[in-house]
Structures are given as C-alpha cells and as structure tokens.
C-alpha cells in the first residue's frame, strides 16, 4: 500500500486510526466525574499533541538517523510561526499560503545554519546549533523589534491588527485563520450520555498533515537515502575514508528536519495567530530532544508518543493543585491526608517538571529505546505468557523415533 511493506502500512493505519479517533480516546471519563480532569480531548491540547508530534518526527530524521544532536531546532519553529503570521497580516487568513511559506522560509534558514554547523560534529555541532538558536532568539526579541523595521514585535509577539493590509481578505470570510472559509476554531460537540466529545476543524487539518508527513518519514527511513544516514550514524569516519562525501546527506537531513519544524511553527500560528520569541528559546529546543529520546530515538512512532507524553504532563499534571489532592485523599484521617498532600505536592502543579524528570531518568536507565522499547518488551512478555498458557496436546504429538547411528 502506497509503496510500503505490510509492517509499515499497518503502522501508518494504526497512527491514522488513533489520530482520527483521538476525541474519543482522549476523553475516557464522564464530563462531570472527578476523573474528568485527566481527559485530554479538548481542541487546544489535541492540536498541541499533533503539532509537536510533527516537530519531533522531523527532529528524529536528523537525530535518530544521523546521530547529530541539534540544540537549536526551535529557531526553525519560531521562523515558521513568524512567516505564517506575516502572511496573515499582509494577505489573508487562509492557512495554506501561511503554512507553505513557513516551510519554505524554514528550509532556507536551515540550509544556512546547517551549512555552517555541519562543518563540525559531536558536541561542537550541538553548541553551534545552540548558538544560532540563541542568536535568533536575541534578534527576534530585541534587534528585529526596532520600530524602523519591526518584524517581530519583540516581547509582545507578532499578531494581526485591524489596520493590517490583508490585501486578499474579504468581509465574507472569518476574521480568524481559516481554510477557504472554514474557521480553524470551528468545533462540533457531540454529547453521548455523560460524555462530551469535541471535533475541531483545526485539529483535523493538523491530523491530516501529520499523517502525510509521517508517511514521508517512513519513506525516508526505508529509502537508500535513509540507509546512508544510518551509515553516517554508525561510522561516519569510515565512510569518509572510503572517499564518500557525507556532507550533502547530512545537510539534506538537516534541511528536511528544519522544514518539519517550520511546518510545526506554521501550524501553531494557524491555530493561534500569534508568534513570539519564546518559541525560539533553548528550552523549546531541549523539549523536542526530550520528546524524541523519551519516545524512542530512531523509531518511527516513538517521537509522536514522546510528544504526546510530555504535552499531556505539561497540560494535565500542571493543573492539579492542593485542593484536588485533598479531594483524592479525603477518605484518609486528617493527619495522614495532610501528610500525603505534603508528599505529592512537589510533583504536581508547578512542580510537574520534577515528575517528568524522574520519569525521563527511569526511561533512560531502564528503557534506552524509550517508550517504544517498553511496548516491545511488554508485547514479548505477553506472547511468552500466552505460549506457556496453551495446553500441550500430547495425544496428537507424533512419536519420536529413536536415533540410529548410521
């Protein structure tokens, strides 16, 4: 199917089904129940799952295949966002031109940074990309916010104002990002008993785009180009000794990865027409590194799982406060209840990073292959148990003949 073997086609179908059915899967608890705070099926969070999944898929093409660890990929995310918002300001709110320009500008920007940074490898490459990202952040935060040529609007962030030209915008179209008139914030709510499910236009646009770029990532992984990138990761020095120039391959991987990041930045602006310098900060670059490692470096679905895992913790665990904890432990005696709240408090709310850090340590120590390796181990364990549970039918087993030496 689509040039994929059976295993990859099955993986693509699984990702497609999970993505399209996310409003149901992410809202397992009734709306009015105490567990409803763990539901993640609201549009804003689902969009973040998809957008950062795209970001991590692209980063994995560079880091997972070549082993080049970039600490500056947030620069391309920010450039993509700024490009998309400028399309909104100058032309119209249609998201397709905005997304297209964000990919093109990110490709050009990543070509320049990659051409310079890939002259070095290892930690030197990582430091160079971090330096470029921080320079980009400084430019966006201060230099390019100069009133003479205000390209980024500094710390306030770039946004669309009523007096912006928007030359191709018509009054009949919504004053929000849209796809040929369909607002990205258009949401249909389905109430089924005690459950409520939201189907958002912006989410499904992101979902379709993610399935397309995931398919492209599979083709890259299985192509001769992908095999060359794996060879670079395995032993680049040996390849250089054979006379093969690896620079074009690594630069191509860097640019493709930057285009994915620019696409994610464009989608972020399409869902919320605002671009800020904070998207280019080193913390955003570090976040995508965590997503990729946590999910499984070099795997296809791992970065998506890692992105979903981190964004879930960021948005769900960070909302839990002491009031919620007291409700959880209300059945305990007062002294024990207060003690349990005191113990759990540092790991939730503003301290959710502590929980994430501990989980990340456990994954790195016990599951070097990330969540994907954990799923594989669990699958093998269940298969072994299933095999042991099958009764051995000795009556139908053929009798073994004694071996006669010839």
Domains, the chain, in order of start with CATH, read 13-281 (1.10.3470)
pLDDT at 390 over 90: no
Please state the length of the chain: 406
Confidence check: pLDDT of 397 > 70:
no
DSSP 3-state of 82: helix
Task: Determine contact, residues 71/282, Cβ cutoff 8 Å.
Answer: yes
Name the residue with higher pLDDT: 114 or 405.
114
By three-state DSSP, how is residue 25 classified? helix
Cβ–Cβ < 8 Å for 77, 279: yes
Residue 191's SS3 state is strand
- Whether the per-residue pLDDT at 395 is higher than 50: the answer is no
Beta strands in 201-356 (DSSP E): 274-275
Half-sphere exposure (CA, 13 Å, Cβ side) for 66?
27
Coil vs helix vs strand at 192: strand
| pLDDT reported for residue 37 | 84
Instruction: Return the higher-pLDDT residue of 238 and 216.
Output: 216
- DSSP string of 254-322, one letter each residue: HHHHHHHHHHHHHHHHHHS-EE-GGGGSHHHHHHHHHHHHHH-TT-SSHHHHHHHHHHHHHHHGGG--H
Q: Do residues 136 and 152 touch, judged by C-beta distance below 8 A?
A: no
pTM: 0.91
pLDDT given at position 241: 85
* Run of H or E including 65: helix 43-66
Average per-residue pLDDT in the chain?
A: 88
Distance (Å, whole) CA 159 – CA 105: 18
Q: Helices 282-295 and 43-66 sit at what angle, rounded to 10 degrees?
A: 80
Tokens 């258009």 locate to 186
- For residue 30 the two structure tokens come to 């009734």
Show Cβ contacts of residue 391 under 8 Å, excluding neighbours closer than 6 positions: none
Please say if the pLDDT value at position 393 is more than 70. no
Maximum distance among all alpha carbons in the chain? 98
For residue 173, name the pLDDT band (cuts at 50, 70, 90): confident
Question: How much of the chain, in percent, has pLDDT values that exceed 70?
Answer: 95
Mean local confidence (pLDDT), 53-82? 94
Q: Model confidence over 288-316: pLDDT tens digits?
A: 999 999 999 999 999 999 999 999 888 88
Query: Token pair 């964000």 is at which residue?
Result: 102
Per-residue pLDDT, 352: 83
Whether the Cβ atoms of residue 22 and residue 14 lie closer than 8 Å to each other: no
**DSSP of 281-292, one letter per residue?**
SHHHHHHHHHHH
Six token digits for residue 400:
């073994």
Beta carbons within 8 Å of 249's beta carbon, 6+ residues apart: 66, 225, 228, 229, 232
The per-residue pLDDT for 392 is 53
Q: How confident is the model at residue 394 (pLDDT cuts 50, 70, 90)?
A: very low
């Amino acid at each position: 199917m689509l040039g994929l073997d059976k295993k990859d086609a099955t993986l693509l179908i699984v990702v497609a089904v999970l993505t399209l059915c996310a409003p149901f899967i992410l809202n397992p608890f009734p709306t009015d129940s105490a567990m409803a705070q763990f539901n993640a099926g609201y549009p804003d969070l689902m969009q973040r799952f998809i957008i950062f999944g795209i970001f991590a898929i692209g980063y994995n093409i560079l880091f997972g295949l070549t082993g080049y660890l970039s600490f500056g990929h947030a620069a391309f995310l920010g450039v993509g966002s700024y490009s998309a918002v400028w399309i909104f300001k100058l032309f119209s709110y249609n998201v397709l031109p905005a997304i297209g320009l964000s990919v093109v500008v990110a490709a050009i920007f990543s070509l320049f940074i990659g051409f310079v940074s890939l002259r070095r490898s290892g930690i030197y490459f990582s430091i160079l990309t971090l330096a470029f990202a921080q320079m980009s952040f400084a430019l966006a935060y201060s230099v390019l916010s100069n009133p003479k040529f205000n390209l980024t609007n500094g710390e306030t962030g770039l946004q669309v104002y009523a007096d912006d030209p928007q030359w191709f915008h018509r009054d009949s179209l919504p004053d929000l990002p849209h796809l040929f008139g369909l607002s990205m914030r258009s949401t249909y709510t389905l109430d089924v008993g005690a459950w409520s499910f939201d189907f958002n236009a912006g989410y499904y646009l992101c979902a379709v785009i993610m399935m397309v770029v995931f398919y492209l990532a599979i083709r890259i992984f299985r192509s001769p180009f992908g095999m060359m990138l794996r060879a670079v990761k395995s032993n680049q020095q040996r390849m250089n000794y054979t006379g093969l120039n690896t620079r074009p391959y690594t630069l191509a991987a860097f640019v493709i990865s930057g285009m994915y990041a620019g696409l994610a930045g464009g989608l972020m602006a399409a869902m919320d027409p605002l671009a800020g310098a904070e998207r280019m900060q080193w913390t955003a670059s570090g976040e995508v590194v965590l997503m990729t490692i946590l999910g499984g470096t070099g795997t296809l679905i791992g970065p998506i799982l890692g992105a979903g895992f981190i964004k879930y913790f960021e948005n769900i665990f960070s909302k839990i406060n002491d009031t919620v904890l007291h409700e959880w432990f209300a059945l305990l005696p007062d002294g024990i209840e207060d003690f349990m709240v005191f113990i759990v408090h540092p790991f939730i709310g503003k301290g959710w990073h502590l929980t994430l850090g501990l989980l990340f340590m456990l994954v790195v120590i016990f599951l070097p292959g990330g969540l994907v390796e954990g799923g594989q181990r669990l699958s093998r364990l269940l298969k072994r148990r299933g095999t042991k549970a099958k009764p051995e039918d000795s009556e139908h087993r053929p009798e073994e003949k004694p071996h006669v030496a010839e």
